[in-house]
Amino acid sequence: MNLIEKEGWVRLAQESDVAEGTAIAVKFEDREIALYHVEGGGFYATENICTHEYAQLSEGWLEGYEIECPLHAGRFDLRSGKALCAPVEEDVKTYEVRLAGGWVYIRSPD
């Protein structure tokens, strides 16, 4: 376990695993997490499952800091998890992200 992991951060993926402007799905324990690489804007992580129905946000369309759900086109702001338009009403959970040594870490979920 390295120092970062001792501080409660979880190694999720390599930075190079996520091309700019795309997202990937990562399993962590029993959670499904979407990891986004915003063009010119860094990395963000949210729960991968939409708060409306069952759809993977990592399969949606990433535009700037917004992810559009592939099922009914609800949108969330990656920085806050805020639901931005119908039909989504409930915000999506976000995770703190940190980069170190070419790896992307998230704050260990409680």
Q: Per rule CB under 6 A, is residue 87 in the interface with ligand FES? A: yes
Query: What does the angle CA 108 – CA 1 – CA 102 come to, to the nearest 5 degrees?
Result: 75
Q: Is 74 in the site for ligand FES (CB under 6 A)?
A: yes
Q: What distance in Å separates the CA atoms of residue 36 and residue 41, rounded to the nearest whole number?
A: 10
User: Can you tell me which of 4, 10, 24, 71 binds ligand FES, judged by CB under 6 A?
Assistant: 71
Tokens of 80: 């806050």
- Please give the DSSP secondary-structure letter assigned to residue 56: B
CB of 7 to ligand FES, least distance (A): 34
By C-beta, is 67 or 104 nearer to ligand FES?
67
